[in-house]
Amino acid sequence: MTGLLICGGTVVSPTGAHLADVLVDGETIAAVLAPGAGPADIETLDAAGKYVIPGAVDAHTHMELPFGGTFASDTFETGTRAAAFGGTTTIIDFAVQRTGEVVQDGLAAWHAKAAGNCHVDYAFHMILGGVDEDSLKAMDQLVADEGITSFKLFMAYPGVFYSDDGQILRAMQKARDNGSVIMMHAENGIAIDVLIGQALARGETDPIHHGLTRPEALEAEATSRAIYLAEVARDCPLYIGHLSASRALAAVAQARDAGRNVFAETCPQYLYLTLEDQLGAPGFEGAKWVCSTPLRSGHENHRADLWRGLRSNDLAVVSTDHCPFCFKEQKELGLGDFSKIPNGIGGVEHRLDLVYQGVADGKLSLQRWVETISTTPARMFGLYPRKGVIAPGSDADIVLYDPTGRTTIGVETHHMNMDYSAYEGYEIAGRVDTVISRGTVLLSGGAYHGRKGHGRYLPRGLSTYLV
């Protein structure tokens, strides 16, 4: 018999963990079997002592994104290869439409960037930088014909991606009609621009002022406003991206307690890094950690509240918002003016490990680890049960994770196209051992076997969480 039998491991799902063997036939999972019940005449992979989990799904990446006069430093080739090293076998990136551009042209441009270059499977959200009659019609077409069922709007970045409340409401009404999800960058960009101008006028130019001029109150206000606008749009499905702060989380929790179609993600940088220690690093060093929403103060409860939100499901997903820039020449565009530092942190390779450290530290259960990094993003964005679960008929995207291993994060060992690491020196109590994508072993024994072009585009269905 041809195929692969993964033997002796502990299969982990959102509902539990149990010893089982996994039979792979071609690109899909054929069966999940009692230990020892598989066929004898087949290639085997010993998973004893390891967790067998569905390949991770990163629902928020930005490969090759143009921003601030430069481009994110990872291409679809380098970024998806790094993702594979970290156990992520599916990414959902963002195609971009700017004001005045045709939505479908933006999508075609991102297909051209990704096609034939990805090491893992990929899908797209669509950024709407200009909401008008044409883009509203395009939303229906993308849902019906292109398998794109989520649209990102920005309450920040006036003049670049910003939508006003009327535009947001119209897009939400359209999403309510066609079943798609509105993803939101929730910061009050109009007020933030005032604070940035005032800070620069005072001569406050260091990277820490990126965070100080984007206070958590303006994230909370925008999050709350988005939730109310979605209510007016007949409970339009709303997904808050890169949530970083306690009061924004409280607004999401209140809406969820009321049974609303409101969801949110956070990112590893908000679970581990702080405004004081990273953004406030001496000199221009803090530029390495400029991202939006910004890192929050370690003197407040944000990090503890975010971990609690993950436990309680007020936060549904951990994504990375992977948008890397090199320190030299890219981040340095903001020397002398923090507002010109390209916004973004690279982390697509480290999400699975950093969230697992929360399991090792007793902050999260093993089941929630799998749920937040794989199953829920797959369900949220119309990829389940093809992705996000180890079950018959699902794609054979499988990671063997060694809880007795160790991972040291650093620029010398990571595979992202960056000249620094946002998590330099971090030690993780666990290690990605083997990575399989659609039945093909990409990583095993420290050796990489993947190739560009293996990854396929994934048209998505509708979210399975909506009422």
Are 231 and 260 a contacting pair, CB within 8 Å? yes
Burial of 367 (0-12, 13-18, 19+ CB in 10 A): middle
Q: What is the pTM of this model?
A: 0.98
Supply angle C-alpha 97, 100, 104, rounded to 5: 40
Q: 55-76, pLDDT tens digit by residue?
A: 999 999 999 999 888 999 999 9
pLDDT in tens, 185-223: 999 999 999 999 999 999 999 999 999 999 999 999 999
Q: Where in the chain is the domain with CATH 3.20.20.140?
A: 55-380
At how many degrees (to 10) do helices 216-232 and 165-178 cross? 50
State mean pLDDT over 385-407. 98
Instruction: Identify the residue with better confidence: 467 or 66.
Output: 66
Question: What one-character-per-residue DSSP string does 381-403 give?
Answer: TT-TTTSS--STTSB--EEEEET
* CATH architecture for residues 55-380: Alpha-Beta Barrel (3.20)
Mean pLDDT calculated for residue range 383-409: 98
Give me 129's structure tokens.
């930088």
pLDDT band at 159 (very low <50, low <70, confident <90, very high): confident
pLDDT tens track for 269-300: 999 999 999 999 999 999 999 999 999 999 99
Mean pLDDT, rounded, of the chain:
97
Q: CA-to-CA distance for 363 and 62, rounded, in angstroms? A: 28
pLDDT at 247: 98
* Separation of alpha carbons 210 and 279, rounded Å: 8
4-53+396-448, CATH topology level: Urease, subunit C; domain 1 (2.30.40)
Residues 6+ apart with CB under 8 A from 212: 195, 199, 204, 275
User: For 281, what's the count of Cα atoms within 13 Å in the CB-facing half-sphere?
Assistant: 13
pLDDT tens readout for residues 27-48: 999 999 999 999 989 999 999 9
Task: Using the predicted structure, report yes or no on whether residue 224 has a pLDDT greater than 80.
Answer: yes
User: What average pLDDT does this structure show over 431-448?
Assistant: 97
What is the structure's pLDDT at 139? 98
For the chain, give the percent of residues with pLDDT over 90.
96
- Asked whether residue 467 carries a pLDDT value surpassing 80, the answer given is no
In this prediction, residue 210 carries a pLDDT of 98
- What is the spatial distance between Cα 261 and Cα 23, in angstroms, rounded to a whole number? 37
* Six-digit token string for 3: 């195929």
The number of C-alpha atoms within 13 Å of 247 and in the hemisphere containing its C-beta is: 14
pLDDT reported for residue 104: 97
User: How confident is the model over 143-167, as a mean pLDDT?
Assistant: 96
**Mean pLDDT value of segment 304-311:** 98
- Give pLDDT, residue 68: 83
pLDDT in tens, 322-373: 999 999 999 999 999 999 999 999 999 999 999 999 999 999 999 999 999 9
Decide: 316 and 236 in contact? Cβ < 8 Å. no
All CATH 2.30.40.10 domain ranges of the chain, comma separated, are 4-53+396-448
- Under a CB-based contact definition with an 8 Å cutoff, are residues 335 and 314 in contact? no
> Is residue 181 classed as helix, strand or coil in its secondary structure?
strand
pLDDT computed for residue 20 by the predictor: 98
Residue 452 contacts by C-beta under 8 Å, 6 or more apart in sequence? 77, 80, 81, 116, 117, 118, 119
In this predicted structure, what is the pLDDT of residue 466? 75
Q: Closest Cα partner for 162 from 184, 137, 135, 138?
A: 184
1: confidence class by pLDDT, cuts 50, 70, 90: low
Element (H, E) at 151: strand 150-154
Pairing of strands 51-54, 398-402: antiparallel
For residues 136 and 170, is the Cβ–Cβ distance under 8 A? yes
Q: Once rounded to an integer, what is the mean pLDDT over residues 94-114?
A: 95
